[in-house]
């Protein structure tokens, strides 16, 4: 295996993780908004919602990275 192939695979993995994180962030923000709104009956502010979405997305992507064997 060539050194360039290893770098290419690392960049591909980073791009995949970024895409997964973005999709998770968008999905989790909408899910968290509806869940918090229906459960507590409060309208959540954008900064709190954004922070919760980023935190949850980071945790999931980090778990994927830790448990990925390939």
**Residue 7 and residue 23: Cα distance in Å, rounded?**
24
Residue from 22, 13, 5 nearest 60 by CA: 22
* pTM > 0.85: yes or no: no
Q: Which residue has the tokens 């290419």?
A: 8
SS3 state of residue 46: helix
Chain CA centroid to CA 29, Å? 10
The token duo for 12 is: 């591909």
Q: What is the pLDDT of residues 18-35, one digit of tens each?
A: 999 999 999 988 888 888
CB-side neighbour CA atoms (13 Å) of 20: 16
Question: Which parts of the chain sit beneath pLDDT 50?
Answer: none
């Amino acid at each position: 295996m060539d050194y360039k192939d290893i770098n290419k695979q690392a960049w591909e993995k980073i791009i995949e993780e970024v895409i997964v994180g973005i999709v998770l962030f968008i999905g989790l923000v909408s899910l968290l908004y509806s869940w918090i709104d229906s459960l507590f009956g409060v309208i959540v502010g954008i900064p709190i919602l954004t922070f919760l979405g980023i935190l949850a997305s980071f945790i999931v992507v980090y778990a994927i990275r830790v448990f990925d064997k390939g």
